[in-house]
Every structure is written in structure tokens, then in C-alpha cells.
Structure 1
């Protein structure tokens, strides 16, 4: 059982790395300060955009990471 959880843990870890690297940077330059009104449409539908989906996927993968970490601690201590 420990081997299966370890494999799942490694897969989840790699998926977290991939999802985080796939997210756009949150840096705001001068262009976003000038065109500040462009964010209003995307602010309403933020959960439907690719960035919103990646954010949800990151949260889900982090939850799985914590769960597999706790399971590994449990099975290692046995």
C-alpha cells in the first residue's frame, strides 16, 4: 500500500509543478495601469477562464498532496 501511495504522491507532485508553471505571472506593468478597465469583463468570469481553471486545479492537487503526505506518514509510522 505504501508503494502505491508513494507513486500517487510523486504523480501529484509533478502535476502541481506543471500546473503552477502553466499559470501566467501576476506582474503588472505600465500597460495594465494605463488600460485598467480591461479587467472588468474578465473579473466577472474569472472562474471560467483558463487561469481560473488552473487555480482550481492547483487547489485540488494541493489537497491531494496533503492527503497523500498524511497517508505516507501514517503508513511509515506503522
Structure 2
């Protein structure tokens, strides 16, 4: 059981990295990093399509990763 969960942790880790790397960039230019991004804060549009799917997939994978980490910690402490 422990080795299965460790393998699952590795797979989830790789999938999270892939999901984060596939998300579209939110900055238009390097200059927007220095301006504070107030225009992005107040002009935020709701994510749709591929961007919304990737946000949800990243959240679900992250949640599964945290639960798996907690279960692994409990099992390894026994």
C-alpha cells in the first residue's frame, strides 16, 4: 500500500507540473510585472474554455496531492 501511494505521489507531482506549465501566461509583457498589475486585478475576466479547464484540473490535482501526502504521513508514522 505504501509503495502504491508513493508511486501515486510521483505521478500526481508530474501531472501537476504539466498542468501548471500548460496554463496560458497572464502577463502581456515584462513591464507589467513592475507596474503592479492593477489593471489585471480590476479588469479580471472569468476564465473560459481551456484556461478554466486547466485551472480546475490544477486545483483537483493539487487537492489529490495534499490528501495523498497526508495519508502517506499517517501510514509512515505507524
Question: TM bucket by the smaller chain?
Answer: 0.7 to 0.9
- Structure with greater helix share of residues: 1
Unmatched tracts of structure 2, length 5 or more: 30-44
CA RMSD of aligned residues (A): 1.8
Residue number in structure 2 paired with 1:37: none
Q: Which runs of 4+ in 1 moved over 3 A?
A: none
Answer yes or no: is 1:8 the counterpart of 2:18: no
SS of residue matched to 1:12:
helix
In 1, Cα distance between the equivalents of 2:51 and 2:6? 29
Instruction: Measure how far apart 1:8 and its partner are.
Output: 0.5
Query: TM-score, length-normalised on structure 2?
Result: 0.75
Unmatched tracts of structure 1, length 5 or more: 30-42
Aligned length in residues: 65
Residue number in structure 2 paired with 1:59: 59
In 2, Cα distance between the equivalents of 1:10 and 1:50? 25
Instruction: Measure how far apart 1:53 and its partner are.
Output: 0.1
